[in-house]
Amino acid sequence: MVYKQLVRPALFRLHGGDAERVHETTVGALAMLGSIRSLVELGRRVLPVRSTALERTVFGIRFPNPVGLAAGMDKDGRALPAWSALGFGFVEVGTVTRHAQPGNPRPRLFRLPSSEAVINRMGFNNAGAQALADRLARLGPLPAPLGISLGKSRVTPVAEAVEDYRSALRTLYPYGDYFAVNVSSPNTPGLRGLQDRGALTELLAELSATAATLARPQGARAKPLLVKIAPDLSEPAIAEVVEVCLEHGVSGLIATNTTLSRDGVAARDRAAAQEQGGLSGRPLTERARQVVAFVHGETGGRLPIIGVGGIMTPDDASRMFDAGASLVQLYTGFIYQGPGLVRRINRALAAGAVARSR
């Protein structure tokens, strides 16, 4: 209640309501707080919900709890120590590209408050794979698993996308616990075409081979590769993506990215909804759950799923798990509900597990 009644209104008014500047200020503040070790340790002792019922192992990785931070919130990994102190069981940084890039022209981030939604057309703005690798090398071991979302650089032609992804994977491989192959953002021209069977087959074959080669000197299994898909794909197209993923030993799917649809937007937000870009938040809740359920049915549970999209309450998270998700991620829900949402979801999951054990 404190966040929704006091903190959120103040944040939404900050910088004249410029959503991207508020985002940058928030991540910057968390980065500063995360640099104070005593505060981070205090947060880790007090804020996370601790229960063995929350622990789970998915695609070979142990997660202290199943609620993660989605890619896009902390693209360059600036605030990594702070996220686990807020209770997240894992963090996904990025989307990061081989080449540093500024992204699309501003303004490019818009709130739709009545819909509890956000539209973004950021365009993979990030400092590049090498800069992220340098930061992660300085940070050293992290307290929770780290995912790294990989995307195509805007300057790279689609025909050369494979090498672009491979280069980023090679640079960042020592630091990630898993890698998400983002072929579904609507904000990079031609990117969603990489979800087509032929292009995705070539990309996953090369990335899987690269991961295996990088793992060989350590005598370890290749780190998990996941594919992030769009909610706008038809069921036959999703089934085709799933088939390609299974053929190439992909470890899991992330469902879903933002949507181009404007279904479910409140009347008060219709003017803002005309902005181009991907929509996230409450209007995506049901579609994301449907995609997770469809993928789970297609694979018979053989392919773990990270469910993301419109998770605004503990009940939304519960329904996503019921649909077949092994883990969930927050982004827009975190913006509108605040860090307390992480605790509420984990408390609900822990209480449900205890109730089922009786």
Is 257 annotated as contributing to ligand binding?
yes
Assess contact for 74 and 93: CB atoms under 8 A.
yes
Cis status, amide bond into 304, omega within 30 of 0: no
Is 336 marked within a binding site? no
Is residue 72 marked as binding? Answer: yes
Strands 327-330, 67-69: pairing is parallel
Our separate counts of H helices and E strands in the chain read 13, 13
Sequence-distant (6+) residues with CB within 8 A of 59 are: 178, 224, 226, 251, 252, 304
Please indicate if the annotation marks 74 as binding a ligand: yes
Q: Which residues are catalytic?
A: 185
Please tell me whether 16 is known to bind a ligand.
no
Residue 310 known to bind ligand: yes
Question: What are the strands, taking DSSP E only, across the chain?
Answer: 56-58, 61-63, 67-69, 90-96, 109-112, 117-120, 146-150, 178-182, 225-229, 252-255, 278-281, 305-308, 327-330
Check residue 224 and report its DSSP letter.
P
Is residue 17 annotated as involved in ligand binding? no
CB 146 within 8 A of CB 175: yes
Q: Is 261 annotated as a binding residue?
A: no
Check the annotation: does 187 bind a ligand: yes
125 is in an annotated binding site: no
Binding-site residues, in ranges, read 71-75, 95, 120-124, 149, 182, 187, 228, 256-258, 281, 310, 331-332
Q: Which residues are annotated as a binding site for substrate?
A: 75, 120-124, 182, 187, 257-258
Q: Pick out the residues of the known binding site for FMN.
A: 71-75, 95, 149, 182, 228, 256, 281, 310, 331-332
